[in-house]
Structure 1
Amino acid sequence: MSYQTIELTTAAGVVTLTLNRPQRLNSCNAAMHAELRDALRGIESDAAVRCLLITGRGRAFCAGQDLDARDIAPGEHAPDLGASLEQHYNPLIRTLRSLQMPVVCAVNGVAAGAGANLALACDIVLAGRSASFIQAFCKLGLVPDSGGTWHLPRLIGHARAMGLALLGERLPAEQAEQWGMIWKCVDDAQLMQEAQSLAQHLAAQPTRGLALTKQALNATWHNSLATQLDLERDLQRQAGRTDDYREGVAAFMAKREPRFLGH
């Protein structure tokens, strides 16, 4: 499929997905959502893909929803925003969280509203030093969505999450790193090089083991210690039966670098 609002490139087991509406700060519309769904279905079904890297074209990562699609003329009924979430944003966030491979995000500029929470749904987030995160919903009389009310308190605590959500203030990338909201803030000129290097490293690791690790960490917020210990047991049983585990042990014993195949 030929895409108009996103770009896909593949190299060495890494798919780089670039949001490509720079003239609209990569804000989301129905066409972009449709292309994202199609692209992620292909990525999920391709055994050769072992890491996904998401970034944006131009001076923004993603400005959230394209409000041109939300323009309400006088006398018109307001759109059902809940239906929009159910159809577009919620499936996107669920897919990213459950994808059976690492998902790296390179935030190259402003990440606002759903764009900020799209980034936070990824596994490892890098941001350029000039990047920023804005929970812009309060400025429109809306509620943070796309997982924002779930991720923010868990990443930075209740007080900071409440401040960002109620005030809608810009959070610079350096402060986001200091608060533990993202993995790392890097110089703008080095962002894509570092993100691609990280993605290539992850793509060469035991993909099934990394996917099981994601599953365990995503479940921990809901589980008691006893339940989490049982889950670790069950996931470790699966990991121990992989070819990559055998290769990891063999490489350790032979004092050589492992050659993981991702299964």
Structure 2
Amino acid sequence: MRVRTEIDEGGLARVTLCRGEAGNAIDLELARGLLDAARACERGAVRAVLLTGEGKSFCVGGDLREFAAFSGEALEKHLVAVTDALHDALRTFAALDAPLVAAVQGAVAGAGIGLAAAADVTLAADTATFTAAYTGIGYSPDAGVSWSLPRLIGPKRALDLLLTNRRIPAAEAAAIGLVSRAVPAGELAADAERTAEALRRGPTAAYGATRRLVGAGPTANLGPHLDREARALAAAATSEEGREGVAAFLGKRAPEFTRVPPRA
């Protein structure tokens, strides 16, 4: 089993990459396992997703040993199969209302950066390092890296990392916006659990609307985007979550959003 998915009764999905001995390198089986995990989250009543990787490294990118077993047209077909599954997984996670939290450690390279960048909140161990790596082996990016990096850190910084393959430490990754924050390595797992649990207790539909608005913002014209915000806000205000949130605020109590079932 390359990917383990556990969804608890509270709606927190824990998705774990299970190739720690291989740096969680992405082969065809792992890519398909990640897609299965995303679809399980899509089907289930999931309120938050926590993505982690076993072993010393979160994900070192594609499995070059597997890729080297193919050549010519067979290699092309194999890479298309891997990226199709991986990209479908990323699309599925992105379409959820449930926010995605990633906890990353050790080496994060290639498609591993794409997975880290796809999360809404990315926590990095202070000992983690990040390397694009693609052009170092004559490849171009996948896993949404050429889309997410320019949006997170700007096109100049993105090209610096993608063309030079400069390895950056977690502190720099946090400073430029590649990850949300760097935390002491010994506290990474607990911090990630606390973050995911707090999001699990939150307003899932409002999170989904917020994810979509932020995702659309960088390429939207201001006028239509303001209209989109207004419609989303009106829908949120009249929803069960919105009514509970306002009632809790006026009643000076903590909101109980978990009473409102998330969209399946």
Determine the structure 2 residue equivalent to 1:222. Answer: 219
**Secondary structure of 1:61's aligned partner:** coil
- Structure 1 residue 13, shift from structure 2 partner: 2.4
Measure, in 2, the Cα distance between the counterparts of 1:97 and 1:171. 26
Deviations 1:29-73 (Å, cap 9, x if unpaired)?
Answer: 1111222222221111112x2000001001000111111221157
Contact 1:27 1:63 in 2 (8 A): yes
Is 2:48 aligned against 1:51?
A: yes
Measure, in 2, the Cα distance between the counterparts of 1:56 and 1:258. 33
Deviations 1:175-213 (Å, cap 9, x if unpaired)?
Answer: 100112111100000001000000000000110001000
**Secondary structure of 1:60's aligned partner:** coil
Determine the structure 2 residue equivalent to 1:260. Answer: 257
Distance 1:60 1:95, change over 3 A: same
Determine the structure 1 residue equivalent to 2:21. Answer: 23
RMSD, aligned CA: 1.7
Is 2:249 aligned against 1:233?
A: no
- Structure 1 residue 96, shift from structure 2 partner: 2.1
Note the residue ranges of structure 1 that are not aligned, 5 or more in a row: none
* TM-score for the superposition, normalised by structure 2: 0.92
Determine the structure 2 residue equivalent to 1:79. Answer: 75
Measure, in 2, the Cα distance between the counterparts of 1:140 and 1:203. 40
Q: How does 1:58-73 map to 2 (within 5 A)?
A: 58-72=55-69
Determine the structure 2 residue equivalent to 1:247. Answer: 244
Determine the structure 2 residue equivalent to 1:89. Answer: 86
Determine the structure 1 residue equivalent to 2:112. Answer: 115
Measure, in 1, the Cα distance between the counterparts of 2:237 and 2:169. 42
Determine the structure 2 residue equivalent to 1:13. Answer: 11
Is 2:185 aligned against 1:193?
A: no
Measure, in 1, the Cα distance between the counterparts of 2:21 and 2:82. 24
Determine the structure 2 residue equivalent to 1:39. Answer: 37
* TM-score for the superposition, normalised by structure 1: 0.93
Note the residue ranges of structure 2 that are not aligned, 5 or more in a row: none
Contact 1:13 1:200 in 2 (8 A): no
Q: 1:130 aligns with which of 117, 123, 127?
A: 127
- Kindly tell me the number of residue pairs found equivalent between the two proteins: 258
Contact 1:125 1:183 in 2 (8 A): yes
Distance 1:76 1:232, change over 3 A: closer
- Structure 1 residue 223, shift from structure 2 partner: 0.7
Distance 1:89 1:6, change over 3 A: closer
The structure where helix makes up a greater share of residues is 2
Contact 2:83 2:143 in 1 (8 A): no
Determine the structure 2 residue equivalent to 1:168. Answer: 165
Measure, in 2, the Cα distance between the counterparts of 1:239 and 1:83. 39
Contact 1:72 1:78 in 2 (8 A): no
Contact 1:209 1:239 in 2 (8 A): yes
- Structure 1 residue 98, shift from structure 2 partner: 1.6
**Secondary structure of 1:36's aligned partner:** helix
Contact 1:44 1:100 in 2 (8 A): no
Measure, in 1, the Cα distance between the counterparts of 2:65 and 2:184. 33
Distance 1:241 1:85, change over 3 A: farther
Runs of 4 or more above 6 Å deviation: none
- Structure 1 residue 107, shift from structure 2 partner: 0.3
- Structure 1 residue 15, shift from structure 2 partner: 1.2
Measure, in 2, the Cα distance between the counterparts of 1:97 and 1:212. 12
Q: Report percent identity of matched pairs.
A: 34
- Structure 1 residue 164, shift from structure 2 partner: 0.3
Contact 2:35 2:86 in 1 (8 A): no
